[in-house]
Every structure is written in structure tokens, then in C-alpha cells.
Amino acid sequence: MVENRPFLTVLTHAALIIGVLFLCFPVWMALVASTHSADALSSSPIPMWFGDQGWQNYSLLISRGLPEAGGVPLGRMMLNSAIMALGITFGKIAISIISAYAVVYFKFPFRMVFFWMIFITLMLPVEVRILPTFDVVTKMGLLNSYAGLIVPLIASATATLLFRQFFLTIPDELVEAARIDRAGPLRFFWDILLPLSRTNIAALFIILFIFGWNQYLWPLLVTTDEGLYTIVMGIQRMVNSGESLPVWHLIMGTAVLAMIPPVLVVIAMQKLFVKGLVESEK
């Protein structure tokens, strides 16, 4: 805002605050609901403030699994989710930074063909290619394994494009200076390109970790073994627990716990992310 009028300041702040309240309300509800007993939640009105059952609910969740979720302990599901999310994140970053490096810095036959092939896959998210992918994974015998959860989700056109755009902004002289300094392709990648991409990697890490953590459809398809269930699947199974009433207080507690790792990742990476924005070293 260039103008400095108190009325406008109040108005814009009011709009922002309403927006924040709107976004935070579901989270607030989950937090509140997870501290009540099942009875309090099934009767009207729904409580808007914390109850006294928080401790019991959370200790129940953490200490032993719910029969409604197939009896898989929460810790196990969190671990599965973490392995999958981290696997996808690291895999995607590694693959996409290497392919972007190849596309930008090396001249090889059909370079642009490869680039466009990567680009076109942007239009094919997992949901579109889910049947053929499932078929491939089945034939490779990867059902019910971490590899089956992770590998099909690794290829990423978005991240490749992002790194490509970033590499294109690196001045050619830097590459030339490195060549004169006797840095071969691998050394240039490791000593110069990778450190310069640090902030981009941090930003991608946040996005990709959340993407991986929130995967629902794919894990649902490739896992039948309860030992491989992820937390997002677990929540869904709790809601659809057949005949009995959904145990909302425990479901909300699980949801709150499931939120923690992505939030931690954002907090941890944000520092680096913001630092990169402020310093603008190029």
C-alpha cells in the first residue's frame, strides 16, 4: 500500500483477520474436539472450548492402536507416512535436479525432445495414469512395499522445470569461471550448482514433503498389508468404521497429530527459505 490512510489500514487488516479466522476455524475445531469425550461431541451444541479429556484421548492414541483403524498403532502409521513422504521428497529432488542439470548444461541429441517429454508429463498427475502405473507396480512385485509407495510418485516435471528455470538464471560466466578453474561437470555440480540451489531445494522440500505426506489414493491402492498403512489412510478408515459410530474425539486427535510433521518441516525450512529470499545471492 502506497497510501497511508487509517481507514484503509483498518479495512485491510479486518479483511485479513477474517480470512485467518476462516482458515483457522477447522483446525481449532479439531483441536477442541480432541479434548472431549465421545458423548460431548455427539450432542448439540458442539463444544467450542477445550474439554478435560485431552490427556486420556492422546495417551490412548499414542499407547495403543484403535480397533476402528484396523488396530494399527498410530506410531507405526506415522512412521510409514514419514518414510513415504521423505522418500518421495528426496527422490524427487534428486531426480529432478539431475535431469534439469542435464537439460540445461549438456548438449546431447534430442535434448529438447527429452525436455518436452518431461514437460508434457506435467499434464499427467498420478490420478490420470493410475491404472497403467498400478499394472507396472504389480508386475514388478512392488505391491505392499515402501518402494511401491514411493517410486511411482518420484518422477516430477514440476521440480525439474523449477530447477531448470533457476539454472537458467545462473550467469554463464560462473560456469566459464569454473571451467577455467578446472572444475569438471561433476565438481561443478557438487561445488557450485548444489550450494546455489540450497534455497530452491528448501522451498521444494516443503512443498514435496506435504505432497507426499498427504498422499491418499496411491497408498490406498498399493497397500493391503496393515503394517504399511499411512496416517492419512488411518484417519479415513476410522471415519468409515462400519457399524459403530465414528469416534470423533479420537479421529480429531489423530488429525492433530498428523498435522505435526508437516508443520515442523515448514518451520524448520522456512528459516532457510526466507533467508534465501532476503539475501538474494546470485
Partner 1 sequence: MANLSIRSLGKTYPGGVSAVRDVDIKIQDGEFIVLVGPSGCGKSTILRMIAGLETITTGDLDIDGRRVNDLEPGDRDIAMVFQNYALYPHMTVRANMEYGLKNEGLPKDEIAERIAEASRTLRLSDYLDRKPRQLSGGQRQRVAMGRAIVRKPKVFLFDEPLSNLDAKLRTQLRAELKALHARLNGTFIYVTHDQVEAMSLADRIVIMSEGKIEQIGTPMDLYLRPATRFVAEFIGTPAMNFIDATVGSDGHSLQIGEQMIAADAPIHAPAGTLVSVGVRPEHLHRGQDHAMHVKLKTGFVEQLGADTIVHGEASTNGTASPLGVRLQGVHMPEPGSELQLGAALSDLHFFDTASGQRLNT
Residue 180 within binding range of partner 1, rule CB under 8 A: yes
Among candidate residues 22, 95, 81, 47, the one with its CA nearest the CA of residue 212: 81
**Binding residues for partner 1, how many (CB under 8 A)?**
20
Residue 282 within binding range of partner 1, rule CB under 8 A: yes
140 versus 177: smaller Cβ distance to partner 1: 177
76 versus 198: smaller Cβ distance to partner 1: 198
Which residues in the 184-203 window bind partner 1 by CB under 8 A?
A: 187, 191-192, 195-196, 198
Residue 181 within binding range of partner 1, rule CB under 8 A: yes
Residue 173 within binding range of partner 1, rule CB under 8 A: yes
Contacts of 163 (CB under 8 A, 6+ apart): 96, 97, 100, 101, 197, 200
Residue 182 within binding range of partner 1, rule CB under 8 A: yes
CA-CA distance, 196 to 192, in Å (whole number)? Answer: 6
Residue in 142, 174, 207, 259 binding partner 1, rule: CB under 8 A:
174
Contacts of 6 (CB under 8 A, 6+ apart): none
Residue 279 within binding range of partner 1, rule CB under 8 A: yes
Residue 210 within binding range of partner 1, rule CB under 8 A: no
Buried b (16+ CB within 10 A) or exposed e, 165-201: ebbeebeeeebeebeeeebeeeebbeebbeebbebbb
247 Rama class: left (phi>0) / alpha (psi -120 to 50) / beta: beta
Residue 183 within binding range of partner 1, rule CB under 8 A: yes
CA-CA distance, 238 to 248, in Å (whole number)? Answer: 9
* Nearest distance from C-beta of residue 276 to partner 1, angstroms: 11
Site for partner 1, rule CB under 8 A: 171, 173-174, 176-183, 187, 191-192, 195-196, 198, 279, 281-282
